[in-house]
Amino acid sequence: MSNNETLATKAPQEKAFLIGVDIQKERSLLSIEDSLEELSMLAETAGMEVVGELFQKLQSPHRVTYIGSGKVDEVIAMIEETEADVAIFDNELSARHLRELEERFDEKIGAGKVQILDRTALILNIFAAHASTREGKMQVELAQYQYLLPRLTRAWSHLGRQAGGGGGRAGGAGGVGLRGPGETQLEIDRREILSKIGQLKKDLDKVRAHRSRYRKTRKMNKIPVVALVGYTNAGKSTLLNHLSDANVYVADQLFATLDPTTRRIKTPSGTEVLISDTVGFIQKLPTQLIAAFRATLEEIAEADLLIHVIDSSHPNALAQHHSVLDTLADIEADQIPKITVLNKIDKLPLPVEKMKFSPEFYRPIFISAKRAIGIDNLLETIESALFEKYSTIEVEIPFAEGKLTSMFHTHGKVNNLEHTGNGVKITGQIPAHFLPFFQPYIIDQQAVEKDS
């Protein structure tokens, strides 16, 4: 089964109708209107034309059809009126929701006339279209199969119609015929997908191991690593191009680049630093993608410094900021020192000094990556953050926290080390931005206060 079969990417300019549901019990960073606007941008990035939208507020999703039965009929009527080819839900739908909705649509509109996608499937399609390296393609393929597996019944019936088979729905009346003694095509398909998931995980583990060895070499050479993070389309690739002449593809669309790019740059004092551009984040980022892109996201988790790039001109800049912070917490990278960069100041309606920004944007650096404004100031800030003075501390690290001992050896200077009954006692110097990691285990607080 090919990728095109698993999550079919439609031809450009298919007509899409968007359906949003504001679930009162679920936390959302964006209003339902803003979330649908973002979904519209995703659909356009996938090459579709948005012809209409509708949303509903619910306490919780409808058990059978996600939206209420009356709303399903309303959606179907509007799809017929707009002649839409694809119905896109702004929420992730379960296998049952997809199956029930498909049955209602087929009954009212005609079998196979309208494809139903949810936000996760749409993002996976975009990732599949944009991944260019072997690693990126493997990561997306794994995420696709992980998404497809619990929805296999619906997916197989959809493929059966695509292939022109008349077997009906898998698991229903007149289902797919048997393939072997007592084994349905659905079971064969499930086993095949599980096998492919297993192989892809093995291949990506090799990539992960290679990245890990590469990171160890970098640390041995004492080359600091800076990772660019931010919401999709915040301007990270444009910034990397200005900092390093990386020539990374840039476009005014969501997820224009997926594959990580690492380049060497020099700080104002001439010190070499590695800077990496990483995949952009988005609200409701599919969990399958976070899992599949683990090897890539580790580049963020292992960085010495994060540059959080924010589109200052976006009306939902603060919500996007929170979405990125949530994702960083998910990958355990929220404790890494950060520089907040407010990009695209050339698009602001007023000069920076006359704008009012949220105090949550702590001590931001204002830039326009496109017009190369503020780049020198950013480079000086990067150098200052990376090479701040060391603090002298004495800590007793429990044996269970061996990674902290490794961190001290890698990033600091060990003057004395001894093993105690409770752990490892270390006296030495550590960059100040690493102090939060060691705070619970500091013995001599005075040394820290005197040095900081």
Give me the helices (H) in 8-47, please: 32-45
* Domain end point (choices 204, 220, 236): 220
Cα–Cα distance between 54 and 82 in angstroms, integer?
Answer: 12
Domain span at 62: 3-130
* 46 lies in the same domain as 26: yes
Which of 292, 298, 304, 264 lies closest to 278 in space, CA to CA?
Answer: 298
Q: What is the pLDDT at residue 19?
A: 96
145 contacts 200 by C-beta, under 8 angstroms: yes
Which of 340, 301, 311, 3 lies closest to 142 in space, CA to CA?
Answer: 3
Give SS3 for 77: helix
* 192 lies in the same domain as 336: no
Q: What is the pLDDT at residue 207?
A: 81
Burial (CB count within 10 angstroms: exposed 0-12, middle 13-18, buried 19+), residue 367? buried
- The CATH number that applies at residue 318 is 3.40.50.300
Global model pTM greater than 0.75 = no
Q: What is the pLDDT at residue 259?
A: 60
Cα–Cα distance between 225 and 63 in angstroms, integer?
Answer: 48
CA distances from 332 to 281, 329, 336 (A): 15, 5, 9
* 196 lies in the same domain as 336: no
Q: What is the pLDDT at residue 101?
A: 94
* 17 lies in the same domain as 74: yes
Residue 389 φ/ψ, nearest 5 degrees: -70, 150
Which residues on adjacent β-strands are paired with residue 186? none
* 15 lies in the same domain as 60: yes
* 285 lies in the same domain as 377: yes
Q: What is the pLDDT at residue 29?
A: 82
* Domain end point (choices 130, 145, 166): 130
Cα–Cα distance between 83 and 89 in angstroms, integer?
Answer: 17
* 376 lies in the same domain as 418: no
Q: What is the pLDDT at residue 169?
A: 32
223 contacts 387 by C-beta, under 8 angstroms: no
* Domain end point (choices 386, 403, 435): 386
Give SS3 for 299: helix
Cα–Cα distance between 381 and 291 in angstroms, integer?
Answer: 32
Give me the helices (H) in 393-432, please: 402-411
* 154 lies in the same domain as 229: no
Neighbours of 94 (CB within 10 A): 13
Cα–Cα distance between 155 and 33 in angstroms, integer?
Answer: 30
* 281 lies in the same domain as 324: yes
Q: What is the pLDDT at residue 72?
A: 94
* 152 lies in the same domain as 124: no
Which residues on adjacent β-strands are paired with residue 265? 273
Please count the structural domains in the chain: 4
CA distances from 175 to 98, 103, 107 (A): 18, 14, 17
Task: Show the low-confidence residues of the chain (pLDDT under 70).
Answer: 1-12, 153-183, 214-215, 217-222, 246-260, 295-296, 388-390, 433, 444-452
